[in-house]
Amino acid sequence: MNKKVQVQDLGLRDYKATWDYQEQLFQETLDLKIRNRREGLNLDTPNHFLFVEHPHVYTLGKSGDISNLLVDEKVLAAKGATFYKINRGGDITYHGPGQIVGYPILDLDNFFTDIHKYLRFLEEMVILTLAEYGIKSERSPGETGVWLDVGTPFARKICAMGVRASRWVTMHGFALNVNADLGYFDMMIPCGIKGKAVTSLNVELGKKEVDMDEVKQKLLKHFVILFKAEMNEKTEV
């Protein structure tokens, strides 16, 4: 089993271009798994972890409800935002500058074949990272992602998640609000869950800005421990 993970920080990159790149890596891994099975080979399948920031964009999962987007395309265009229907689970999600988006493209056969455990580990990675900033976060029963003050009138989401998996190969991932412009969340019902607020790490810390690279390094540190992974040197593409 190959537990090495190639990390790439893509910087600020268009959502569709990043989606296409994800699909390319995802398909390469699937093709290798199929070849291994067909030809009786045992070639290592790769694992990737992409970091990216996106320009303002709204994405709707395959089971999502378009009515959770509260504005039309003209309003989105005026705000410099785009919209895509995509093939992950979950409902509507916003991505934008100041948000760390992580796309692990892993062959879970290299780690463990349990998609629920995979999601819980991603949540735990975020929970442990936020704890380093003195922020107590947790899971909300029945709602994927990471939240603050669960079970109170002040419950608010700080990290959204939605994944796709085929033959135990994953894509899509998580979006952690670090220095996010929360006004963009007002144009949708986040994840289709009414009456729940959204927050960002800088807001919770009372800071104008939090060091994004520092947060990424903390996320990777906890990912390595949880997944018993080995990170290859970061590269940019």
Residues 6+ apart with CB under 8 A from 144: 90, 119, 123, 160, 161, 162, 191
What stretches of the chain adopt beta strand conformation (E)? 4-12, 48-53, 57-60, 82-85, 92-95, 99-105, 138-140, 143-148, 156-166, 169-177, 197-198, 230-235
Q: What's the rounded Cα separation, in Å, for the pair 206 and 210?
A: 10
Exposed, middle or buried, 223 (CB in 10 Å: 0-12/13-18/19+)?
buried
| Neighbouring residues of 205: CB distance < 8 A, sequence distance ≥ 6 | 133, 134, 135
* SS3 assignment, position 167: coil
Among 69, 122, 146, 191, the active-site one is 191
Residue 191 annotated as catalytic? yes
**Rounded-to-integer distance, Cα 167 and Cα 170, Å:** 9
Longest dimension (CA), the chain: 57
Residues 6+ apart with CB under 8 A from 236: 8, 9, 10, 11
Catalytic residues: 191
